[in-house]
Amino acid sequence: MNGKTLLTILALTLVTGSVSGESEDEAEEWFDKAVAFYEEGEYVQAIECLDYTLELNPEYVDAWAGKAGILFGLAKYDEAIECYDSALALDPKHVNAWGGKGGALWGLGKYDEAIGCFDRALELDAELVEAWNGKGFALYDLGKHDEAIECYNRALEVDPRYVMAWNNKGLALAELAKYDEAINCWDRALELDTAQVRGWWYLKVETLSDLGRHNEAIECCDRALELDPEFVEAWNGKGVALFSLGKHEEAIKCCDRALELDAEFVEAWNGKGVALLYLGKHDEAIKCCDRALELDPEYVDAWNNKGFTLYGLGRYNEALVCYDRALELDPEYVRAWNGKGITLGGLDNYEEAIECFDRTLELDPEYVGAWSNKAGFLVCLGGYDEAIECSDRALELEPGFKEAWNHKGLALYCQGKYEEALECQEQALKLDPYFAEAWYGKSDVLEELNRLSEAAECYEKAEELKNK
């Protein structure tokens, strides 16, 4: 199943078969050489030694199982299964061979067959934790997360310090949206083995970020960096979390630290570029995107972010080139469809823009920004009722989405429903008092309501914010 299990197999000295004592002794010597090569990571030489072992003694069960284990580790699953079958033909009760065959079948995606092998291993040894863990992972891949957790629990009853089972149990709990329980499992794994800090970090930070728990994600990164100060991904991850909290300058510092450690870490160049964009430093942001694309010309996020930056500079045609490149690389990249739509709108191609938003929403019906953007350009085309429907859909998904309130207000204004429009603009401004577009919208509505002095004040406020 893993390196430790394979080492256990290789270390076994049970020999079967009827060969001369001399051949038997020589086979043992070659088997021992195979173990030594394996421990040094010299897998090809280890297999050569095992092949010679099997020439001397074709019925050497553990040589077949050991060869299978190495082939499994090299992801040569079909060849591994052949060797496991040879071992099992000689010894149908070879528990590690059943467990190893289960692992190889799992590697081929044959999860039901894998479970059958793990069950056979567990019939022979009910406390074989690797088999419980392997069965759990096969069940996990079949989407049977509750059953997978039962297997991990069984492994942990036998060995409460079995790190892999703690990690895998956390994965299954996360699939069941039991995020805090999952995090507790990953924390337990780290307590048991701090050398697992990178795996722990990947699992925990991704979950916390998806939950929007960015402060906890930062704490997780800090803990990882205490254990490994040169953990590049953790520096970058901390930057991502800080960016999500609006702390753009601190985010850039983390990206810079990651790049000090690895000047070719494309994610950090891309992340720095996005943070610079939000600080209004468009030219510097483009340089970062370009550096990321020098390192990886097929890095979709960087093409998308460069497009968004160029859009912010009013360079719409150049932005479209970037979005189109992103979509060549990934035709289902929703952010690029949304960005392309916004850019086409900037070129007054409203119908094409709406087609892009529709494509975005085919791919992700809960993409709030696309519903709101579609509403905004429907207003430009005079489709006020549909614009209101799109705004309402955005607000169902995210009631605090200020742009949707603004677009709904614009549509109502165009329909002459000024009081309702005013309510929408005021709601947008409650959410963000610095939202210039809503101040402009409120000014227009107040003017129609003949509240001219208030309208003038709102217009002045909008101009002040726009020119900052």
The C-alpha R_g of the chain, in whole angstroms, comes to 30
Element (H, E) at 291: helix 282-295
Q: How far apart are CA 458 and CA 217, in angstroms?
A: 40
Which two tokens mark 353?
């823009």
Percent of the chain with pLDDT over 70: 95
Mean pLDDT of 226-246: 94
With beta carbons less than 8 A apart as the criterion, state whether 412 and 420 touch: yes
The secondary structure of 113-156 as a DSSP string is HHHHHHHHHHHH-TT-HHHHHHHHHHHHHTT-HHHHHHHHHHHH
Does residue 16 have a pLDDT over 60?
no
- How would residue 171 be classed by pLDDT, with cut points 50, 70 and 90? very high
Least confident of 15-24, 163-172, 191-200: 15-24
For the segment 405-427, what is each residue's pLDDT rounded down to a tens digit? 999 999 999 999 999 999 999 99
- How would residue 398 be classed by pLDDT, with cut points 50, 70 and 90? very high
User: Left (φ > 0), alpha (ψ -120 to 50) or beta: where does 177 sit?
Assistant: left
Question: What is residue 319's three-state secondary structure?
Answer: helix
Q: How many of the other CB atoms lie within 10 Å of CB of 366?
A: 12
* Long-range Cβ pairs for the range 289-294 (8 Å, 24+): 292/266
Mean pLDDT of 247-253: 97
Q: Does domain 1-125 have CATH number 1.25.40.10?
A: yes
Does residue 18 have a pLDDT over 70?
no
Choice between 370 and 2, residue whose per-residue pLDDT is larger: 370
For the segment 316-334, what is each residue's pLDDT rounded down to a tens digit? 999 999 999 999 999 999 9
**One-letter amino acid for residue 462 of the chain:** A
Mean pLDDT of 91-95: 94
* Of residues 118, 182, 180, 117, the one with CA closest to residue 155: 118
Does residue 120 have a pLDDT over 50?
yes
Which two tokens mark 146?
């509750």
> What DSSP character marks residue 194?
G
For the segment 175-212, what is each residue's pLDDT rounded down to a tens digit? 999 999 999 999 999 899 988 888 888 889 889 988 99
Q: How far apart are CA 219 and CA 129, in angstroms?
A: 32
Q: How far apart are CA 142 and CA 182, in angstroms?
A: 19
Does residue 19 have a pLDDT over 90?
no
Q: How far apart are CA 88 and CA 80, in angstroms?
A: 12
Q: pTM of the entire structure?
A: 0.74
With beta carbons less than 8 A apart as the criterion, state whether 86 and 63 touch: no
Cα separation of the two ends of the chain = 61
Q: Residue 196: its pLDDT value, please?
A: 82
> What DSSP character marks residue 435?
-
Does residue 395 have a pLDDT over 50?
yes
Lookup result for tokens 């990178």? 198
Q: How many of the other CB atoms lie within 10 Å of CB of 209?
A: 17
Please, which residues have CB within 8 angstroms of residue 278's CB and are 6 or more apart in sequence? 243, 248
Mean pLDDT of 133-145: 96
List Cα–Cα distances, 58 to 50, 87, 89, in angstroms: 10, 10, 12
Mean pLDDT of 86-101: 94
Does residue 10 have a pLDDT over 50?
no
Question: For all residues of the chain together, what is the average pLDDT?
Answer: 92
- How would residue 22 be classed by pLDDT, with cut points 50, 70 and 90? low
Lookup result for tokens 């003038």? 456
**One-letter amino acid for residue 436 of the chain:** A
Q: How far apart are CA 302 and CA 312, in angstroms?
A: 15
Please, which residues have CB within 8 angstroms of residue 331's CB and are 6 or more apart in sequence? none
- How would residue 48 be classed by pLDDT, with cut points 50, 70 and 90? very high
Q: How far apart are CA 266 and CA 287, in angstroms?
A: 13
Least confident of 21-35, 291-305, 312-326: 21-35
- Entry field: residues in the chain: 468
> What DSSP character marks residue 93?
T
Does residue 121 have a pLDDT over 80?
yes
The secondary structure of 203-250 as a DSSP string is HHHHHHHHTT-HHHHHHHHHHHHHH-TT-HHHHHHHHHHHHHTT-HHH
> CA angle, corner 212, sides to 207 and 214, nearest 5?
85
Does residue 3 have a pLDDT over 70?
no
Q: Residue 9: its pLDDT value, please?
A: 34
CA dihedral angle for residue 320, residue 325, residue 331, residue 336, rounded to 10 degrees: -40
Residues 313-345: b if buried by 16+ CB within 10 A, e if exposed: eebbebbbebbebbbeeeeebbbbbbbbbbbbb
Q: Residue 373: its pLDDT value, please?
A: 97
Mean pLDDT of 384-409: 97
Mean pLDDT of 249-258: 97
Q: Residue 378: its pLDDT value, please?
A: 97
Least confident of 17-26, 105-114, 233-242, 359-368: 17-26
